C-alpha cells in the first residue's frame, strides 16, 4: 500500500485508512481481528476509532467497545508500534434511559442534543478514558469528533495543545466542521502558539452534495477550495462509498444518505462512473475509492469502515487501479 504525508508533518500514513467504528458492535471480535490483521498484512497502518463507538448498538452503554477491542488486539500481538492510531472525543451523549426505545433502537435526536462537547475538562476525561481502553500512553491523532459551538474555541484549543505538550497526543484533528470554523481555529492557533490540527475528517465521496444540502459534516465546494489553499491539513474522507450505494441502483433508491446527493448532477456523475468502471474492470464502489486515492488537490485519504470481511476484501482492488489522466478528467468534469 502506498503512503501519503499527513498535512505537512513529515508523518507518512497508509493512503487508505481503516475505520473501526463497528468493531466490538456490529462486527464481532473474530471478524474484527481478521480484518485488522489483513489490513496490516497489506501494508495498512492508519486505524481510526472514537470513544463513542458503538454506543448505539449496545443499549445501556455509552461506547468504548471499539477502543477496548483495539486495545486487546494491539496487546495480543504487540502491535502498537505498527499502528498509526487515531481516536476522537466530544460526541458521547449524556446518559439517559431515553437514549434507547423499548426495542433497543437509539434516539439520535436526543443524542445530538446532549453530546458531551469539547470543554477542557470533558476532553481531558475523554482522552484519559480512551488511553485506558486502548492500553497505550498516547494516540497518534486525536480529533474533536463533533464541532462544539457552545464552548469557546480558545478553551478547546488550549486543552488540546496541552495534550500534545504532555505527550499524550502527537497530532490533532477536527471532524464535522464548517469551513469558517477551520479558519477561526487556524487564526487562534497562530496567534497563541497552539498546535494546529493537521487532519480534517469529513464525509466526502465522488457524488457532490446538492445546493440544498446543509450539513457541517459534508465537504462542499468552499471547503475543497479551503483545503486546496491549506495543504497542511489533510482531508480524511469518511463514508467514501456512501454505504456502498454506488454498486446498486436499488440500494440508492430511498437510502437516507442519498437525500443530500440526488439530482441531475448525481445522475450525470453516476453515468460517468459506470462507464469508467466498465473500462477499468472494477465495480463502481472500487472506482470511487480509486478516484479519491488519486486526487492531488486537495489530497484525499479515504477512510473505509467495513462491517464484514467480504466488504473489506471488496475494497482492496481499488488500491491497484491506476486511472489515466483522461479517465480522471472525465470523472472530474462529469456533472450537470
Active site positions, annotated: 53
Closest C-alpha among 298, 303, 300, 296 to residue 325: 296
DSSP per-residue codes, 81-131: GG-EEEEEES-PBPP-GGGB-TTS-B-HHHHHHSB----HHHHHHHHHHHH
Report the C-alpha gap between 198 and 84 in whole angstroms. 14
Q: At what angle do helices 221-229 and 179-192 cross, to 10 degrees?
A: 30
Element (H, E) at 311: helix 309-315
Cα 201 to Cα 127, 143, 190, 223, 227, distances in angstroms: 18, 8, 21, 12, 12
- Beta-carbon-side half-sphere exposure of residue 148 (alpha carbons within 13 Å): 25
Cα 330 to Cα 17, 270, 272, 333, distances in angstroms: 26, 12, 7, 5
CA angle (91 as vertex; 223, 168 as ends), nearest 5:
90
Report the C-alpha gap between 214 and 309 in whole angstroms. 34
Indicate the SS3 state at residue 34: helix
Whole-number CA gyration radius for the chain:
19
Amino acid at each position: 500500500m502506498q503512503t501519503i504525508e499527513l498535512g505537512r508533518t513529515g508523518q507518512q500514513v497508509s493512503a487508505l485508512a481503516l475505520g473501526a467504528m463497528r468493531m466490538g458492535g456490529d462486527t464481532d471480535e473474530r471478524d474484527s481481528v481478521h480484518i485488522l490483521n489483513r489490513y496490516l498484512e497489506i501494508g495498512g497502518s492508519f486505524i481510526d476509532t472514537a470513544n463513542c463507538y458503538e454506543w448505539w448498538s449496545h443499549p445501556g452503554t455509552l461506547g468504548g467497545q471499539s477502543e477496548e477491542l483495539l486495545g486487546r488486539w494491539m496487546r495480543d500481538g504487540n502491535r502498537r508500534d505498527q499502528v498509526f492510531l487515531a481516536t476522537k472525543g466530544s460526541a458521547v451523549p449524556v446518559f439517559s434511559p431515553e437514549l434507547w426505545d423499548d426495542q433497543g433502537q437509539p434516539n439520535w435526536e436526543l443524542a445530538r442534543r446532549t453530546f458531551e462537547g469539547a470543554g477542557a475538562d470533558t476532553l481531558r476525561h475523554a482522552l484519559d478514558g480512551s488511553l485506558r481502553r486502548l492500553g497505550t500512553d498516547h494516540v497518534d491523532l486525536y480529533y474533536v469528533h463533533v464541532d462544539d459551538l457552545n464552548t469557546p474555541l480558545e478553551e478547546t484549543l488550549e486543552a488540546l495543545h496541552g495534550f500534545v505538550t504532555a505527550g499524550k497526543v502527537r497530532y490533532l484533528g477536527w471532524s464535522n466542521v464548517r469551513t469558517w470554523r477551520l479558519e477561526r481555529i487556524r487564526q487562534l492557533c497562530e496567534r497563541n502558539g497552539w498546535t494546529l490540527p493537521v487532519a480534517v475528517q469529513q464525509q466526502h465521496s465522488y457524488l457532490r452534495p446538492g445546493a440544498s444540502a446543509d450539513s457541517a459534516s459534508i465537504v462542499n465546494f468552499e471547503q475543497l477550495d479551503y483545503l486546496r489553499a491549506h495543504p497542511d491539513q489533510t482531508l480524511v474522507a469518511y463514508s467514501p462509498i456512501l454505504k456502498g450505494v454506488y454498486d446498486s441502483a436499488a440500494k440508492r433508491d430511498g437510502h437516507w444518505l442519498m437525500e443530500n446527493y440526488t439530482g441531475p448532477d448525481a445522475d450525470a456523475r453516476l453515468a460517468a462512473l459506470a462507464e469508467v468502471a466498465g473500462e477499468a474492470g472494477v465495480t463502481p464502489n472500487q472506482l470511487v475509492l480509486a478516484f479519491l486515492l488519486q486526487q492531488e488537490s486537495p489530497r484525499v485519504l479515504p477512510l473505509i469502515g467495513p462491517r464484514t470481511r467480504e466488504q473489506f476484501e471488496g475494497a482492496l482492488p481499488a488500491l491497484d487501479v491506476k486511472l489515466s489522466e483522461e479517465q480522471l478528467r472525465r470523472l472530474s468534469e462529469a456533472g450537470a
